[in-house]
Amino acid sequence: MRFDLDSATRRRLGYRVIDHIDNFFSSLPDRAVQLPAGQRSFDPLSNPLPEAGADAESLLDNIFGELVDKGFHVPSANYFGLMNPTPTYIGVLAELIVAGLNPQLATTKRSQLASKIEHETVRWVGERVGWSGDFNGTFTTGGNEANFSGLALALAAKFPSVIEDGISSLGVRPVLYASTEAHHSVDKSAGLLGIGRKALRRVPLTRNLQLDPQILEQTITADLAGGLKPFCVVATAGTTNSGAVDDLVALAETCRRHDLWLHVDGAYGGSVIFSDRHRGLVGGIEQADSITIDPHKWLAMPLAAGVILTRHPEMLERAFAVAAPYMPQAAESRNVDNSRISTQWTRRMNSLKLWLTLRVHGRRAYEEHIDRQLRLAGSFVSWLANSEHFEQAAPQVLPIVVFRFKARRLGPEALAAAHSAIVEEVTGTGQRWISETKINGESVLRMMVISYLTEQRHLQALQEALTAAAQALA
């Protein structure tokens, strides 16, 4: 079968897929996250590579059905999981447009309006940070790439020769700092950038699970005395485990005092800037030198969409621009080409979904979304306060709640085993999903409200499942 399908076929197949997606969306408020435990399969597929084609309609029906029937559905209202959301439907349609038009955003000359939309979306996000005028940024594939980009900017800013000559030419050992709760993409980035993972100093936490500014100060002082070259602090606005937000104002002050680059990993929590009411939760974020914000987390975008922003726009080109004679330049454009300010070269338009969602729903839809999720998380905390079996294990700042089984006579290992048994019990039918993790080395249970479809009734069902699991354990 040739690739150039006729119009009637394109329409028939396209409408069919839209019908499937529509059915799936209708099912999400009550959909099980996955199959019951005994029916899940992790074996690899073994189909031979197809030499000849088959009927498209039945293949699309089959694969959609199988993906739905056997899939793990983060968009379900019953997913209290890590940070992947139910995507906005407008975002889904935007992805269809992007795939259909296939714009290439490496250069403005070859994308024009698409690049302008991307730049405008970056400007909107930066304006919500509280910046005006001289800032820039670019879309990424997610928080990992955005954090990598932030560290590359920090390196380029503090050691300008490193881009051409490499770290080994410095003659000093650069070191950077992040809390013990910072996301592990920071370790990955430090390794890939040649700084070395061991150069990442993990600073202990305060009681509120924030990076401790006093210990940071002592560590920097000791490193300077030891001949090392501190250059960057990575603060987290919304840790993956507990949603804690580091004291951004205090860390900005430390960075100013020691001339360090402040990168804020707000991959999840940074999006609270879209709420006028709650943006104070990340107060001080505007003092960052660079910021990661992932629209594919709290802003309910389909994967993938991250953003790296900086108020030192010239550093983007210093870190990423490489001249290439075959790349068409638009002399008349005021926007820098994306390939010159990004780790990517050929690039997909990851911005249209956010641009269109904002155009269709308006920022105030996010104001309500964020407020509602915070209230739901607060109600879960109130339930914990009255629970016979569970207690809160850390302060709730964002819509993430960590808690533990109340069993005072259990040692750490037995408590961790109890938590695993509870998670297994609660997730066993596949209907809902929560997780366990460790904070400061201690086992905790974790739930978060991430789907815009989650309502009080879903929390109540989760609470009933948790209570039943605890009773079974007792």
Using the rule CB under 6 A, which residue among 136, 144, 254, 339 binds ligand PLP?
144
How far lies 442's CA from each of 182, 205, 404, 439, in Å? 16, 13, 10, 5
**Window 182-221: contact mask with ligand PLP (x via CB under 6 A):** -x-x------------------------------------
**Binding status of residue 83 toward ligand PLP by CB under 6 A:** yes
Contact indicator for 246, 237 with CB cutoff of 8 Å = yes
Question: For ligand PLP, which stretch binds (CB under 6 A), given 29-37, 138-146, 379-387, 395-403?
Answer: 138-146
Task: Supply the minimum distance, in Å, between the C-beta of residue 239 and ligand PLP.
Answer: 6
- The token duo for 285 is 């974020």
Size of the site for ligand PLP (CB under 6 A): 16
How would you write 421-433 as a 3-class SS string? Answer: HHHHHHHCCCCCE
Using the rule CB under 6 A, which residue among 261, 268, 366, 405 binds ligand PLP?
268
Question: Which of the residues 352 through 411 are near ligand PLP (CB under 6 A)?
Answer: none
In angstroms, the CA 112 to CA 332 distance is 11
Question: For ligand PLP, which stretch binds (CB under 6 A), given 111-119, 264-272, 274-282, 391-399?
Answer: 264-272
**Window 406-445: contact mask with ligand PLP (x via CB under 6 A):** ----------------------------------------
Task: Supply the minimum distance, in Å, between the C-beta of residue 51 and ligand PLP.
Answer: 37
Question: For ligand PLP, which stretch binds (CB under 6 A), given 99-107, 149-157, 261-269, 280-288?
Answer: 261-269
How far lies 81's CA from each of 253, 353, 472, in Å? 34, 23, 23
Q: Which is nearer to ligand PLP, 108 or 290 (CB)?
A: 290
DSSP 38-82: GG---PPP-PPPPSS---HHHHHHHHHHHHHHH---TTSTTB--S
In angstroms, the CA 286 to CA 383 distance is 35
Task: Supply the minimum distance, in Å, between the C-beta of residue 290 and ligand PLP.
Answer: 13
Task: Supply the minimum distance, in Å, between the C-beta of residue 211 and ligand PLP.
Answer: 13
Task: Please name which of 361, 342, 235, 363 lies closest in space to residue 289, comparing C-alpha atoms.
Answer: 235
Using the rule CB under 6 A, which residue among 75, 142, 174, 302 binds ligand PLP?
142
Q: Which is nearer to ligand PLP, 91 or 238 (CB)?
A: 238
Match 């002399």 to its residue by tokens. 331
DSSP 214-267: HHHHHHHHHHHHTT-EEEEEEEEBS-TTT--B--HHHHHHHHHHHT-EEEEE-T
Contact indicator for 145, 296 with CB cutoff of 8 Å = no
What angle (nearest 5°) sits at the alpha carbon of residue 165, between those of residues 164 and 171? 145
Residues 6+ apart with CB under 8 A from 228: 172, 173, 174, 175
Using the rule CB under 6 A, which residue among 200, 211, 234, 267 binds ligand PLP?
267
β-sheet bridge partners, residue 232: 176, 261
Task: Supply the minimum distance, in Å, between the C-beta of residue 415 and ligand PLP.
Answer: 25
Q: Which is nearer to ligand PLP, 183 or 311 (CB)?
A: 183
**Which residue type sits at 118?**
E
Question: Which of the residues 145 through 174 are near ligand PLP (CB under 6 A)?
Answer: 147
Task: Supply the minimum distance, in Å, between the C-beta of residue 347 and ligand PLP.
Answer: 16
Using the rule CB under 6 A, which residue among 81, 103, 126, 143 binds ligand PLP?
143
Residues 6+ apart with CB under 8 A from 363: 128, 274
- The token duo for 5 is 């399908």
**Window 288-327: contact mask with ligand PLP (x via CB under 6 A):** ------x-----------x---------------------
Question: Which of the residues 224 through 253 are near ligand PLP (CB under 6 A)?
Answer: 236, 238, 240
Q: Using CB under 6 A, list all residues that contact ligand PLP.
A: 82-83, 142-144, 147, 183, 185, 236, 238, 240, 265, 267-268, 294, 306
